[in-house]
Each structure stands twice: as C-alpha cells, then as structure tokens.
Chains A and B, each alone.
Chain A
C-alpha cells in the first residue's frame, strides 16, 4: 500500500521534493510541542496550489492521513505528523500574490511568514495586526489553522478577525472559495468557521488578509510593583476607566529575571510584577488618553514608572516581553507552556491558585500573560531526566487547565487544542456539543485523513517522550508564547 502510494506521489513531485529517507524526515518529527514525536512515511514540498490539491486527492484515494505544516511552531502539537501519514510542508508556497493598499488587503500563500506581511505592507503605512510572539518565523497558514493570537487581541481580535477570504482544498480533494475581498458578507461566515479548525477541514491554499493602518503614535509605559496582585489591580482600574489600551501585559519575577538576563531590556530585577501598558492611535486622541492613564497608574502605587521616550525604548520593553518564554526556557532543560483564559476579574485568584499548585507539585512556574484579555501563559519548568518530573509537570498543567474551565474561561486562548489539550476539550463542552463537532468533521472528512487525532479524540496518540527545546528555540528564533 505504502509503496503504491509513494509511487503516486512520485508522479507529482521530483525526488528532491519528496522526502522518504530517515535523514530527511527527522526534522519533521515534532513541532513546538516537543514532548510528542512521530515519524511520517513521507514529506512532500509542494510549490503550487495544484500540487497540494493533487496530493490531497492522492491521500483521499489511498486513505493516507496528512498534515499540512509551516515552520512547525505549533505549541499544541498541531503539526505533529500522523502515524502512517505524510507531512505536506507548505514553506515553499511563500509568495505574496497581491497587496492592494487601496483595498487594504493582501492575498498570500500559506507559507508566507507572518512578519513578512507587515513588512510588505509597511511602505503603504499599513500592517497585519495579529502578532504572535513567533511572528518572525510562524507562517500564515499555521496562523489560520490555529487562529493564532498575540499581544493585541483585546482591541484587534485574533487571526480569524483579519482573514477575509480563503481558497481551500477540502479533505476529499474538492476546492472551495470562502468569503472574498469585502469586509461585508451575505452568507454564513464560512471563513470564520474554517479558521481555527486545526487542519481538520483541509488546507488553505490562498488567504486574503485584511491590513490596517499603522497607528500614528504609541505610548508605552512600564510599571513595577511589589506584588503581582497590585499589577493586576492596576489593569482592573484601567479597564474600569473606559480606556481601551492596545496591549496590557504582566510578567512575574521569574520571567523578569530571565528576560533581563537574556536580552537586557532594562527591567527592574526586584519587581514582583511588571505591567506594560500600551496606547496607540491618532496622536491627539492618544495624548488625551495618556493624560487619563497616568493618574490611574500613579494611584496604583507602582514603585517605578518608565515611559518609553522613543521607538528604541518601546522596542526594548517589547523585546523583553516577547523573548520571555525562550528566556525562561533557558533556566530549565524542559518546560510546558499553556495558554488558558480566565475572566479578567479573576486573574488574581487564578495566579494565587497557580502558585499554590506549583508548590504542591514541586514544579517551578513562571507567569507571563496578556492581562487585557485574561490569557494566562504559565510556564512549567522541569527536568525530563528526573524520574516522574514530566508526569508531575503534566499533572500541574492539567490542574491549571481545569482551573480555567472552573473559572468560566477557556482551555486555550491562542495555541489551539491540538494534541496537547484534546482530552480537555470535552471538559469545556457538553457531550452534545462534542458530538456536533464530530458530526461536522465526519461530513467534511469522511475518511478521517485530515490531521486526524488533533483537537478531537479519534486518532491514535503517539507516546509522550521527554525532550528538550525545539531546535529553532535553542537558536533563539522562536519562543513559546
């Protein structure tokens, strides 16, 4: 079966773009969630949409599962190979097909790197809003599959809110065009349904992205507190005042220490909690907002307030924040990061509970989070070589996820369910809701070949292994936010 299938693939790809030998397959065994590994039977490197379509049709005819993969930065194991399946590597489909400054949109292939869209739009004063921490390396195709977030979601939304149209190949090889170029629509929002489906609905071949004008000015302020609760209270006061900052981020002491050691952003090392607030928009409006923000911040009694005086200082503040996870990762051979969400008003309670659980399990936890939208990022540090350490870290992770559900939040704010949290999805939804999702998957993918086993529990799970950082992470290219 396998050799017949491979010879079919051979009719689509030259040998240089069809990898079947161990040495070629190893880099694709894992993604940003390094605790899982699985070797695919082959990796193909399509250069055109037509090749992707033919590959999917070939898989459909032969009942071979497939997973599309960009640069493998998924933190939920979303692009982990499926057993006895192939990986369709989308990296070579990395063209920006059209960028229209008047319509403010870009039509891109899925292998385009997130930050490259903003770079291409910059000469026109435009940008692509979703900014996951891995934006220098993660691809738009992966962002679409997992509805990636970033630091600016409260005001601007997630990936889904910036995708206008999609050309897709469904798991049975049929083609569909969803949405279009307009912000408005008269059909059900099929684009919104496809985004975040974690590869279960097929592969996006062309993606129409909305671009927005680059804010005229930014005002970024960093405040250091003696307790993390005080930082959280400041966020509540800012929200209650009617201001709508573009970003509000909090880091705890462990994260501050690590970030400072790694990239020297000038963070105060003795702070228990660091709050970053950023306003952005039209100059006179932002100045007026800043005039309201400052008294609120003073009233929250930070022991240090630092305003970014220029672009360089702003970038320094953000550099520390965005590098926090890879920096904390250096403190420990292994780590697990999660991205559960709690109602903003219960952040303080959630952090106290995480602290308690951390002590109970003897696992150190660093916290960095998007405070504006209640999106936690607890980073659990462990040494995989110690007997039982992985198990304890996983147990802690499970308890933190349960806490998010109990508090009325979500098991994932931006990383997706993937392999990692698929056992938790049924805790967040009722049996009817889960059954409906399965019914949808069965209609769209009757042979269960499109990234099976992710999000929904119906595939074979590869065994958990202990392993260190992702190679790209070691190189400091990506980070786990």
Chain B
C-alpha cells in the first residue's frame, strides 16, 4: 500500500507547480499557507519496514508516529538516543527529522544528524532518491540523510528513514539543583558538561519573578547499581539539590520535551553556545519570558510569540510552536544551500 501511495505522490509532484508536505502538524510553528500549493500528507505512510535489534538499526516509514517507534524499540530494550521532542502525541518520525526536533537527551550521544543512517525521499522532479545506507557505518556517496535533517520539507518528501539505535540505559535518575546566582549555575553546568561524568541531559531553567534564581536539571543513565554512587558524586558539585528516580524522573523529562512547562505558548528555538547565556539572560530576564536552556547551553527554548529586537545579535530563532513567522524571518541560505536546492528541486516545487 505504501508503494502505491509513493507512486501517487510522485505523480502529484510531477503534475503540480507547487507542493507542500505535512505530517500530523504538531509543530505548529512550521505551518504555512502556500498559495496554489498542493498539500501532501505522510499520513498513509505508516509502519516499521525493518528492525533487527542485533544490528542497532531500524527502518520506518515517515508518517509513523514517534510514539510507535519508541514503543517498538522499548520492547527490545533500545531507544532513539537523540530523544525526540513531542514523542507522546501524534508527532511523526518524518516531521521530527524535517524539523530537527531532538530533545535534551541528545546531549549524551548526539542529535538526529548523528543517528540518521539512510533516507528515501521524493525530490522536486518527482523521482525517488535513496541516500545513505542500512548499516551503522557508511561513507559511500553524498550524505543525503544529514541534508534532510532540518530541511523542513523544502528539499522533498521524506518517505522512509533508517536510524541507528542504541541499548536503552536500564535506569535513569535526575538531580535538580537550585542556584541563586546565574554565574554559579553556569559554572556548575560547564564543569559537569566538560567532566568525565557521563551525563544524559543538562538543562538550565531560570525562575520567573523578582529575586528569581536558577535550576539546573542533570540526568544520568546506566546500570542501576552504579547510579547511587554517580548521584553522590554529582551532589558534591551541586549541594542544594533534590533527586528524582524512576517514574518521577521519566515523567519530568517527558513533560520537558512536551513543553508542558510553557502551556499554550508559542515556542522559539535559538541555537547558541553556553558563553552567550549571561548576556542573553540580561535581555530575557527583563521581559519575564518563560525559557529553558537545554543541551548544556547549546539551545534556548523561549516561550514567546515574537522575537524581541534585543535578541537579534544572538541569531534568528526558529518558530517551533505557534505564532506567525513574518515578524521573525529565516536564516540566510548561502551559495552551497542554494545550489543544493537548485539541483534537488530545480523548479522550486517544494515549499
């Protein structure tokens, strides 16, 4: 059935002047009305194509829900180490790749780019293209899988994805520490991120309000018997802390990656490095906006409907959830990106 659907998609692309792909539309910031574009859904492209736990490789159709992929892997004690965002709802695995929606847990082993081994997609000519491979190591040909990460449907419709997966740590624990002072929190964050302690996630969460402080949430995972020892070691570095285990730990991080901490808000994503946080905080703390620094200060999620002018020097944020794009714009594409677009989609059909 999926092969019929792909033939149909190829046909639509060939017949249309503009095409637009959608999954479950959970990442509302990516919604756009394109004049005269034919909307194509990945909804019919469902299911696991191949999964061999021994090979650490799974191949799925792009319209498959992330939650389904997570469940299939969990049955075999494996997981997607890039920690997909919004994994509990309707979000599709194709949309996750196209929007580069990796979560806090990507700190440990890497993001989507580091775990996507192979792709199949329909390009702007309506051709089916395969890039990458089905094995964990491959250096043959151009690396289309990486190009598709964050491509937002503008280079084609991804219909099949092959991921590298890992054994899931049998046990997790999270320590949340309080700091009055930003510099102390940052020092602790950087010290742990640069240390030989193997950490799954490190997020920094500013409180909102007068005299507000900072929380540092640090998650570790591994063999259960080693966890207490490792927690004790972390607590020496961050004394004012509480610990969450098992269900509490799991539900805390699910809430984080479902954006429960910023209900009904718009969400902007801004890639940064930890060094700019003090300056960024001066701007953001005044505006009292909800925000969360994730992946040891490599990205800040800002619950704001618009981009304040004061942030512009830190880069152009991406609208991930809600609000209109017009006020924000998108990052400049250089000659390399433009040439790739011309080659893959010469008539600029995919938008």
Q: Which of A31-39, A307-315, A437-445 contacts B (4 or more CB under 8 A)?
A: A437-445
A104 and B336 contact, Cβ closer than 8 Å, known pairs A183-B111, A412-B139: no
A282 and B198 contact, Cβ closer than 8 Å, known pairs A193-B143, A341-B135: yes
Residue B340, interface by CB 8 Å: yes
Residue A123, interface by CB 8 Å: no
Q: Are B223 and A184 in contact (CB-based, < 8 A)?
A: no
Q: Which of A14-22, A79-87, A209-217, A463-471 contacts B (4 or more CB under 8 A)?
A: A209-217
Question: How far apart are the CA atoms of A103 and B128 in the complex, in Å?
Answer: 40
A186 and B141 contact, Cβ closer than 8 Å, known pairs A125-B196, A160-B146, A439-B344: no
CB distance from B84 to the nearest CB of A (A): 14
Q: Are A188 and B137 in contact (CB-based, < 8 A)?
A: no
CB distance from B104 to the nearest CB of A (A): 11
Question: How far apart are the CA atoms of A395 and B302 in the complex, in Å?
Answer: 59
Q: Are A436 and B127 in contact (CB-based, < 8 A)?
A: yes
* In the complex, chain B residues whose CB is within 8 Å of the CB of A139: none
Q: Give B259-302 as 1s and 0s: 1 = Cβ < 8 Å from A's Cβ atoms.
A: 00000000001011111000000000000000000010011000
Residue A114, interface by CB 8 Å: no
A428 and B197 contact, Cβ closer than 8 Å, known pairs A182-B298, A186-B150: no
A282 and B197 contact, Cβ closer than 8 Å, known pairs A178-B334, A242-B170, A436-B127: yes
* In the complex, chain B residues whose CB is within 8 Å of the CB of A428: 133, 140-141
Residue of A nearest to B228 (CB): A284
Q: Are B196 and A215 in contact (CB-based, < 8 A)?
A: yes
Q: Are A186 and B331 in contact (CB-based, < 8 A)?
A: yes
Q: Give A361-385 as 1s and 0s: 1 = Cβ < 8 Å from B's Cβ atoms.
A: 0000000001001110000000000
Residue of B nearest to A101 (CB): B194
Residue A257, interface by CB 8 Å: no
A187 and B223 contact, Cβ closer than 8 Å, known pairs A149-B139, A439-B343: no
Question: How far apart are the CA atoms of A154 and B135 in the complex, in Å?
Answer: 11
* In the complex, chain A residues whose CB is within 8 Å of the CB of B155: 188
Question: How far apart are the CA atoms of A417 and B133 in the complex, in Å?
Answer: 14
Interface members, chain A 168-194 (any B CB < 8 Å)? 168, 170, 174, 176-178, 180-194
Chain B residues with a Cβ closer than 8 Å to the other chain, count: 84
Partner of A417, one of B55, B141, B147, B222: B141
Q: Are B149 and A147 in contact (CB-based, < 8 A)?
A: no
CB distance from B157 to the nearest CB of A (A): 14
Q: Are B139 and A414 in contact (CB-based, < 8 A)?
A: yes
Residue of A nearest to B114 (CB): A161
Question: How far apart are the CA atoms of A244 and B140 in the complex, in Å?
Answer: 25
* In the complex, chain A residues whose CB is within 8 Å of the CB of B140: 410-412, 416-417, 421, 425, 428
A196 and B167 contact, Cβ closer than 8 Å, known pairs A104-B194, A189-B113: no
Q: Are A102 and B344 in contact (CB-based, < 8 A)?
A: no
Q: Are B138 and A412 in contact (CB-based, < 8 A)?
A: yes
Q: Are B196 and A182 in contact (CB-based, < 8 A)?
A: no
Residue of B nearest to A344 (CB): B55
* In the complex, chain A residues whose CB is within 8 Å of the CB of B113: 160-161, 189, 192
Q: Give A119-141 as 1s and 0s: 1 = Cβ < 8 Å from B's Cβ atoms.
A: 00000111000000000000000
CB distance from B204 to the nearest CB of A (A): 14
Question: How far apart are the CA atoms of A433 and B152 in the complex, in Å?
Answer: 21
Interface members, chain A 381-413 (any B CB < 8 Å)? 408-413
Question: How far apart are the CA atoms of A284 and B155 in the complex, in Å?
Answer: 46
CB distance from A87 to the nearest CB of B (A): 23
Q: Are B196 and A430 in contact (CB-based, < 8 A)?
A: no
Residue of A nearest to B191 (CB): A102
Residue B1, interface by CB 8 Å: no
Residue B195, interface by CB 8 Å: yes
CB distance from A405 to the nearest CB of B (A): 10
Question: How far apart are the CA atoms of A157 and B154 in the complex, in Å?
Answer: 27
Residue A348, interface by CB 8 Å: no
Residue of A nearest to B317 (CB): A186
Residue B129, interface by CB 8 Å: yes
Q: Are A243 and B339 in contact (CB-based, < 8 A)?
A: no
A374 and B139 contact, Cβ closer than 8 Å, known pairs A185-B100, A440-B343: no
CB distance from B145 to the nearest CB of A (A): 8
Q: Are B138 and A182 in contact (CB-based, < 8 A)?
A: no
Residue B56, interface by CB 8 Å: yes
A103 and B274 contact, Cβ closer than 8 Å, known pairs A176-B336, A439-B343, A443-B343: yes
Residue A432, interface by CB 8 Å: yes
* In the complex, chain B residues whose CB is within 8 Å of the CB of A432: 127-129
Most chain A CB within 10 A, of B107, B140, B154, is at: B140
Question: How far apart are the CA atoms of A7 and B311 in the complex, in Å?
Answer: 49
Q: Give A339-369 as 1s and 0s: 1 = Cβ < 8 Å from B's Cβ atoms.
A: 0011111000000000000000000000000
Q: Are B147 and A189 in contact (CB-based, < 8 A)?
A: yes
Partner of A178, one of B55, B222, B336, B343: B336
Question: How far apart are the CA atoms of A177 and B336 in the complex, in Å?
Answer: 9
Residue A28, interface by CB 8 Å: no
Residue A69, interface by CB 8 Å: no
Q: Are B55 and A186 in contact (CB-based, < 8 A)?
A: no
Q: Are B54 and A239 in contact (CB-based, < 8 A)?
A: yes
Residue of B nearest to A430 (CB): B130
A236 and B196 contact, Cβ closer than 8 Å, known pairs A195-B143, A432-B129: no
Q: Are A180 and B139 in contact (CB-based, < 8 A)?
A: no
Interface members, chain B 315-341 (any A CB < 8 Å)? 316-318, 331, 333-337, 339-340
* In the complex, chain B residues whose CB is within 8 Å of the CB of A430: 130
Q: Are A170 and B336 in contact (CB-based, < 8 A)?
A: yes
Residue A117, interface by CB 8 Å: no
Q: Give B238-258 as 1s and 0s: 1 = Cβ < 8 Å from A's Cβ atoms.
A: 000000000000000000000
| 15 extra A-B contacts, CB within 8 A, seeds A187-B333, A214-B196, A282-B226 | A126-B194, A149-B137, A178-B334, A184-B102, A188-B154, A189-B150, A193-B147, A196-B143, A216-B196, A244-B167, A289-B223, A409-B133, A410-B137, A429-B130, A436-B127
Contact sample, A vs B, 29 pairs, CB 8 Å cutoff: A102-B275, A147-B139, A158-B137, A168-B336, A170-B335, A170-B336, A174-B335, A183-B271, A184-B100, A184-B102, A185-B150, A186-B331, A190-B334, A193-B147, A194-B336, A282-B198, A284-B230, A341-B136, A343-B55, A344-B136, A408-B135, A410-B133, A413-B139, A429-B141, A433-B130, A436-B123, A436-B343, A444-B340, A455-B141
| Nearest 9 interchain pairs by C-beta | A192-B146, A216-B196, A186-B318, A182-B271, A242-B167, A288-B223, A176-B334, A443-B343, A184-B271
**Residues of A participating in the B interface, judged by any CB pair closer than 8 Å:** 100-104, 124-126, 146-147, 149, 153-155, 157-158, 160-161, 168, 170, 174, 176-178, 180-197, 201, 213-216, 236, 239-240, 242-244, 281-282, 284-285, 287-289, 292, 341-345, 370, 373-375, 408-417, 421, 425, 428-430, 432-433, 435-437, 439-440, 442-444, 455
